[in-house]
Amino acid sequence: MSDKNSESSLSNYGIYTISENLEFTLPNVEIKIEKMGEHVFSYVRKDAEENILKKIIPIKSSDLTIELCPIRPLNHPARRTSHVYLDFESPIFLSEGSAATVFVSCPIEIGVFLVHGKHKDSLDCFTCDPAHSRFCLYGSPESGTLCKYTKSEIVESYEDSTPFHNGILKINIKNELDHGFTISKIVFPISENSLYYKNSKTIIDSLTATLKKKLALEIIDIDANSIQIDWTRSPTYEAIESVRHMDMGVD
């Protein structure tokens, strides 16, 4: 009950036009935007550990327009990788030749964008769950891939997104191997997936994971698929960069 109450008092994602003052209440984070002068606003973000970030925003118009939205979980504690490692709480077993569709949780970060005309400039980004924003290594220390790590729950539908903490990702898994297989993790470059939001929920572009043989190796081939949905698509916070396709080995 208390959780529901606290959720209901949280702000929603969206585009806000501020003429005087506005406050956002997010889990562990508070944002205050105040008008300082005719064309100047201040932006202050305070987290649970009392760390304060302050920015002054001079603008041409008298109102400030910002967009608060989910972004890819790649910027906190620092931008080091484009890959995400989803470690499933409950591994998925697929028998030979079978296929399944699962919804899994995937961490997100929150982006604040300054909107002017058709342009959206990255103003700030943060995570509401800093305790779980960690890195891991997939592969060997010599040639592995650095990833953002998260424990991922298997959920029922897109509606199970936890506001400001995670988004829901649909994965279509297909086993083309000649034996059954248990999948306990998925590693993929999330820079190819867009995020969509509605109120305080988030959806991430879906993935197709195909277990197959490539030469003598058994691999999981992962591709991103964009989804058609009437939710609002988040702008991209980080600079777009091409990511080398990586075949994920099975083990």
Partner 1 sequence: MAFEFLQSLTDIEIVGGLTVLSLFIGGIIMGVGIILARTVRLLFSKYYAPKLPQDTAKNFGKLIYFGIIILSFLVFTSTTGVDFSGLLVAGGIFGIVIGFATQSVVSNLISGIFLMMEKPVKQGDKIEIPGSDITGTLLDISTFSARVRRFDGTIIRIPNESFFTSNIRSLSSTPVRRSEAIVGIAYKEDIDGAISVIEKQIRKSMVFVLTLPKPEFRVKELADSSVNIEILVWHPRDDWDQVGPKLLKVVKNALDNAGIEIPFPQRVIWQAKD
68 part of the interface to partner 1, by CB under 8 A: no
79 part of the interface to partner 1, by CB under 8 A: no
Residue 99 and residue 174 in contact, taking contact as beta carbons nearer than 8 Å: yes
117 in the Ramachandran plot: left (φ > 0), alpha (ψ -120 to 50) or beta? Answer: left
Instruction: Find the part of the chain contacting partner 1 (CB under 8 A) among 16-24, 109-117, 140-148, 235-243.
Output: 140-148
Query: Which residue in 28, 39, 42, 135 binds partner 1 (CB under 8 A)?
Result: 135
142 part of the interface to partner 1, by CB under 8 A: yes
Please say which residue, 78 or 240, places its beta carbon nearer to partner 1. 78
Instruction: Provide Rg for the chain, Cα atoms.
Output: 20
231 part of the interface to partner 1, by CB under 8 A: no
- In single-letter form, the type of residue at position 68 comes to L
Instruction: State which H helix or E strand residue 5 sits in.
Output: helix 2-8
Least distance to partner 1 from the beta carbon of 144, Å?
6
- In single-letter form, the type of residue at position 43 comes to Y
116 in the Ramachandran plot: left (φ > 0), alpha (ψ -120 to 50) or beta? Answer: beta
CA distance 173 to 171: 6
Sign of the torsion formed by the C-alpha atoms of 250, 79, 239 and 39: positive
77 part of the interface to partner 1, by CB under 8 A: yes
Instruction: Find the part of the chain contacting partner 1 (CB under 8 A) among 139-147, 153-161, 168-176, 203-211.
Output: 139-147
Instruction: Find the part of the chain contacting partner 1 (CB under 8 A) among 57-65, 136-144, 166-174, 202-210.
Output: 136-144
| Interface characters, 149-188, with partner 1 (x: CB under 8 A) | x---------------------------------------
Please say which residue, 34 or 47, places its beta carbon nearer to partner 1. 47
Tell me whether strands 232-233 and 195-198 are parallel, antiparallel or unpaired.
antiparallel
Please say which residue, 143 or 228, places its beta carbon nearer to partner 1. 143
Cis, peptide link before residue 77, omega less than 30° from 0: yes
Footprint of partner 1 (CB under 8 A):
77-78, 80, 85, 130-131, 133-138, 141-146, 149
